């Protein structure tokens, strides 16, 4: 309620009292049920245990190589088809976007960080596009071809200066043909 402040001679409207935050205690049920000194995995894993766990992740490497290899080949066909018939561009873009995200997400996990780098460049290039002109489709095709070569040649790690120069060139190419974006 507003009131007259005799000290300053002003009409004062009091600030609304803010609702205070409600603090709810942590739920400790999970901890109580699972943490013990007898059964299970150490909270702080030893380097050897971590290595074993990492090997479990790496079990899917062959599946990654096989499935992503097939997806790259399929996506390339769509992009090539769109280059000769632009009405197919939106399908090619959608497919490229999904593929770029998958490769970006998984490449590094399976020791292909170079693929993650190129996929990131592709993902940025195709983001929010519904159509693309011929030059832009060629840029996409180049990205896909590079990913395929890395996978087929099993270039793990970040590669040599040649591979790094290829990544930089692709990124630059994507920046050059970024517009129009529609």
Partner 1 sequence: MSAKIDFSKISFLVVDGDKISAQVVFDTLSYLGATAVQRVRSPNDAFEVLRTQQIDIIVTEWRLRGMDGLEFLDVLRNSVNSPNRFIPVIMLTAHSEQRYVTTARDLGITEFLAKPFNAKALYSRLVSVITRPRHFVNTGTYFGPDRRRRQVAFDGPDRRSPDD
Task: Write out the residues near partner 1 by the rule CB under 8 A.
Answer: 18-28, 30-31, 33-45, 50, 52-54, 56-57, 59-60, 63-64, 67-68, 101-102, 104-110, 113, 116
Closer Cβ to partner 1, 53 or 168, answer by number = 53
Q: How far is the CB of 114 from partner 1 (least distance, A)?
A: 12
Give the total residue count for the chain: 182
Q: How far is the CB of 6 from partner 1 (least distance, A)?
A: 27
Closer Cβ to partner 1, 123 or 163, answer by number = 123
Q: How far is CA 62 from CA 57, 98, 134, 140, 181, in A?
A: 11, 20, 34, 25, 36
DSSP secondary structure of 85-136? -GGGHHHHHHHHHHHHHHHHHHTGGGT-HHHHHHHHHHHHHHTT-S---HHH
Closer Cβ to partner 1, 36 or 87, answer by number = 36
Q: How far is the CB of 36 from partner 1 (least distance, A)?
A: 6
């Amino acid at each position: 309620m507003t009131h007259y402040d005799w000290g300053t001679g002003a009409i004062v409207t009091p600030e609304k009292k803010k609702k205070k935050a409600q603090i709810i205690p942590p739920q400790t049920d999970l901890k109580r049920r699972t943490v013990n000194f007898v059964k299970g995995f150490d909270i702080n894993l030893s380097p050897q245990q971590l290595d074993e766990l990492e090997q479990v992740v790496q079990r899917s490497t062959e599946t990654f190589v096989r499935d992503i290899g097939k997806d790259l080949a399929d996506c390339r066909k769509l992009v090539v088809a769109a280059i000769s018939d632009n009405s197919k561009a939106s399908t090619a873009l959608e497919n490229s976007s999904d593929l770029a995200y998958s490769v970006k997400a998984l490449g590094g996990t399976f020791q292909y960080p170079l693929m993650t780098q190129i996929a990131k460049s592709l993902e940025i290039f195709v983001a929010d596009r519904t159509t693309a002109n011929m030059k832009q489709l060629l840029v996409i095709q180049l990205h896909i071809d590079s990913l395929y070569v890395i996978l087929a040649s099993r270039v793990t790690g970040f590669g040599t200066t040649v591979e790094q120069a290829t990544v930089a060139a692709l990124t630059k190419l994507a920046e050059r043909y970024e517009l129009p974006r529609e």
